[in-house]
Amino acid sequence: MNIGFFIKWNINSLNSSGNVLGDELLATSFVKLLTRKYQDIKAAVYGLNFLPTEKLDVMIYLNDTPPKQELAKHHILYFQNAFQESIDTLHKRLMSYNYDGYIFFSRKLLKIHKDKGGNGVYIPFGVDTSHFYPREIEKKYEFDVCYVGNDIKGNERTMKFLYPARNFNFGLFGNWKMPKYRFYHRDYWKKQPPYKKLFEKISKGKIPQEDVPILYSSASINLNCTIQECVDWDVITLRTYEVLACKGFLISDEVPSAVNELKECMVFTKGNEDLSDKISYYLSNEKERKQLTQNGFEYVQKNASAEVRAVEIYNYIEEVIS
């Protein structure tokens, strides 16, 4: 069986100067694990700059694009992006694409889909434990608190769940540069939230992907800030599992499923002063951090590895094409 994973942008973001695409990372891990586990499978990641030269058996789309009939015999949407539109409007649009199968990263979305007569399955994120695993601590990454990401979570959530870290030894990585046109507006900065200028200044830029697990293992505290739509849809983010897989200590905003399933593995915060207080507390209580990180590591190994998810994807593909 020849399987493709399609993203709607150019691939090879890992080696570019721009942002790393989470879709590409996820697809790459599934390709590696599917081809290793199933001898009858060939698989690759495709994008605008790299298309299959012959028709595949199955194409799995990781974004909200209509299926490209010329690329494969069967088409499955693995919906795992968030959009600023109502859930009903989004679902209606996705249904109109008439995929052969639908995979959702949210039970809430799957329920709406099935209530409206759709077929589908719930497969949450899974972490590639051959890349994300505990590493030796490196001095350059021994921050009190760290965060890897770009300025895409919105002003309110960034101020609430990331900005309080400024008062500690904060390792911030990612693209936090402001548009160049700011230099031509005298009052531009007065209209921006305080984090904008500070984070542009302190950000260390893009971190090599091979160093991300080292950072998660070395920093005393890792932060997670979830986009609002994923909170509304009750999605446990991939970053959550990646940090836990590295035995990293994690403080995150609250997502109902995460609070229910991972309350013994990490710490949740309301943000602002509560986040500052919890950073201070856990920096002073290493024993509690270590117990939570061990719990989180064991949970991911048993329940949230990409290898487990790859099997679930394969089983669903068999169901769709049979």
Query: Would you state the pLDDT for residue 80?
Result: 76
| Together in a domain, 91 and 172 | no
| Together in a domain, 158 and 61 | no
Close Cβ partners of 119 (under 8 Å, ≥ 6 residues apart): 101, 102
| Together in a domain, 148 and 288 | yes
Task: Please indicate, yes or no, if residue 149 is contained in any of the structural domains.
Answer: yes
Residues 32-70 have pLDDT tens digits of 999 999 999 999 999 999 999 999 999 999 988 899 999
Query: Would you state the pLDDT for residue 236?
Result: 95
Confidence class for position 87, pLDDT limits 50, 70, 90: confident
Confidence class for position 93, pLDDT limits 50, 70, 90: confident
Neighbours of 190 (CB within 10 A): 7
Q: Helix or strand or coil: residue 123?
A: coil
| Together in a domain, 74 and 182 | no
Q: Which two tokens stand for residue 308?
A: 């487990």
| Together in a domain, 244 and 271 | yes
Residues 288-313 have pLDDT tens digits of 999 999 999 999 999 999 999 999 99
| Together in a domain, 230 and 259 | yes
What is the 3-class SS of 167-182, one letter each residue? HCCEEEECCCCCCHHH
| Together in a domain, 182 and 295 | yes
Residues 3-32 have pLDDT tens digits of 999 999 888 766 655 555 778 888 999 999
| Together in a domain, 44 and 99 | yes
Rounded Cα distance between 301 and 315, Å, is: 20
Residues 149-201 have pLDDT tens digits of 999 999 999 999 999 999 999 999 999 998 776 555 667 667 889 999 999 99
Rounded Cα distance between 64 and 62, Å, is: 7
Rounded Cα distance between 319 and 101, Å, is: 9
Task: Please indicate, yes or no, if residue 132 is contained in any of the structural domains.
Answer: no
Confidence class for position 73, pLDDT limits 50, 70, 90: very high
| Together in a domain, 201 and 162 | yes
Mean pLDDT over residues 119-134, rounded?
94
| Together in a domain, 162 and 286 | yes
Mean pLDDT over residues 81-105, rounded?
84
Task: Please indicate, yes or no, if residue 24 is contained in any of the structural domains.
Answer: yes
Query: Would you state the pLDDT for residue 86?
Result: 75
Tally of structural domains, the chain: 2
Task: Please indicate, yes or no, if residue 183 is contained in any of the structural domains.
Answer: yes
Confidence class for position 92, pLDDT limits 50, 70, 90: confident
| Together in a domain, 111 and 149 | no
CB 41, CB 35: distance < 8 Å:
yes
Residue 298, phi then psi, degrees to nearest 5? -65, -35
Among 53, 59, 45, which residue's Cα sits nearest to residue 11? 45
DSSP string, 59-113: EEE-SSPPP-GGGEEEEEEEE----SS-HHHHHHHHHHT--SEEEES-HHHHHHH
Mean pLDDT over residues 71-99, rounded?
85
Task: Please indicate, yes or no, if residue 133 is contained in any of the structural domains.
Answer: no
Query: Would you state the pLDDT for residue 17?
Result: 58
Residues 246-291 have pLDDT tens digits of 999 999 999 999 999 999 999 999 999 999 999 999 999 999 999 9
Helix axes 306-321, 22-37, angle to 10 degrees: 80
Q: Which two tokens stand for residue 224?
A: 């997670």
Give the structural domain span for 198: 139-303
Helix axes 238-245, 22-37, angle to 10 degrees: 60
CATH classification of the domain holding 166: 3.40.50.2000
Q: How far is CA 166 from CA 149, 239, 250, 272, in A?
A: 15, 21, 17, 11
Helix axes 87-96, 107-115, angle to 10 degrees: 60
Rounded Cα distance between 249 and 291, Å, is: 9
Task: Please indicate, yes or no, if residue 54 is contained in any of the structural domains.
Answer: yes
DSSP H or E stretch at residue 161: helix 155-161
Task: Please indicate, yes or no, if residue 224 is contained in any of the structural domains.
Answer: yes
Query: Would you state the pLDDT for residue 240?
Result: 97
Query: Would you state the pLDDT for residue 201?
Result: 96
Helix axes 238-245, 286-303, angle to 10 degrees: 110
Task: Please indicate, yes or no, if residue 134 is contained in any of the structural domains.
Answer: no
Residue 72, phi then psi, degrees to nearest 5? -160, 165
| Together in a domain, 153 and 275 | yes
Q: Which two tokens stand for residue 166?
A: 């400024």
